[in-house]
Amino acid sequence: MDLRREARVECPGLALAADADAAGFLHRQRQRAVRGGVEVADIARDIEQRALRGQHAGSSGSRVPTIASHPCVAQRLQRLRGLRHALGCAFHLGGSQMTESDMYRKGSEIRRQLMGDSQVQKMAASVYDDPMMKKFGDYAREAVFGMLWSRPGLDLKTRALICVISDAATRAWPELAIHLRMARRQGWTEEELGEGLLHLAGYIGLPSVREAMLTAKEVFAEMRKEGEGA
């Protein structure tokens, strides 16, 4: 794909075609995200820092002008305080339409806080690695993490426990594993979560609680092995 030609069509307002290295830089950032499950907001911040300094390192390590150095783009960069739009275009050029709302960015931050960097990257590489699941992941990040988890009235620790209880009651075992991790990261101990699951035996039945506790056993063992369950 001729990135410069495509950039001229898709992003005329940013004049990316005026700088082949700038277009290549955005392309490399998109590839970085695809390979490593890096958050769009993280890359945007990195691009912003480089752009506002007026230069970035080329592939050979030399310092070369960024798109911020072009007069036709500089004013727009300063007004937007970053290259979020440019980053969105880079994803679009790769066949993945990605737009960031404030709620999406808030959801991304909360999700990372709840799950941790390694788990976010792992899920990006193994779960949200195709267009269909990518759409689901984007929706969940905005509507669930951005809107529900960020509401006032309950802290993240309490919300995580609610999710654990809900998953056990509905026998949603993969989701239970995810939310147990979140609950541990928010401060619930293994003993407290185990007691909470056992308490459900009188309300949702022993078979469901047994499966929930087996799931918890596996999750806690994994987290201890990873150094997160101490």
How high is the pLDDT of residue 213?
98
115 and 81 housed in the same domain = no
Residue type, 146: G
Residue type, 169: A
The SS3 call for residue 64 is: strand
69 and 161 housed in the same domain = no
Q: Per mean pLDDT, which range of 45-49, 74-78, 133-137, 156-160 is the poorest?
A: 74-78
The answer to whether 38 touches 32, Cβ cutoff 8 Å, is yes
Helix ranges (DSSP H) in 69-205: 71-80, 84-93, 102-115, 117-126, 131-139, 156-170, 173-185, 190-199, 201-204
Which positions ≥6 away from 43 have C-beta within 8 Å? 29, 32, 33, 87
Count of domains observed in the chain: 3
| Mean of per-residue pLDDT scores for the chain | 75
How high is the pLDDT of residue 164?
98
Distance in angstroms (rounded) separating the CA atoms of residues 111 and 140: 10
How high is the pLDDT of residue 83?
44
Using 50, 70 and 90 to split pLDDT, how confident is the model at 35? low
140 and 60 housed in the same domain = no
Q: Tokens 């007691």 label which residue? A: 195
115 and 125 housed in the same domain = yes
174-198 per-position pLDDT tens digit: 999 999 999 999 999 999 999 999 9
91 and 110 housed in the same domain = no
Within its chain, how far is the Cα of 68 from the centroid? 26
Question: What would the mean pLDDT of 21-48 be, rounded to a whole number?
Answer: 57
111 and 61 housed in the same domain = no
Domain that holds residue 40: 1-99
- The secondary structure element, H or E, covering residue 63 is strand 63-65
Residue type, 152: P
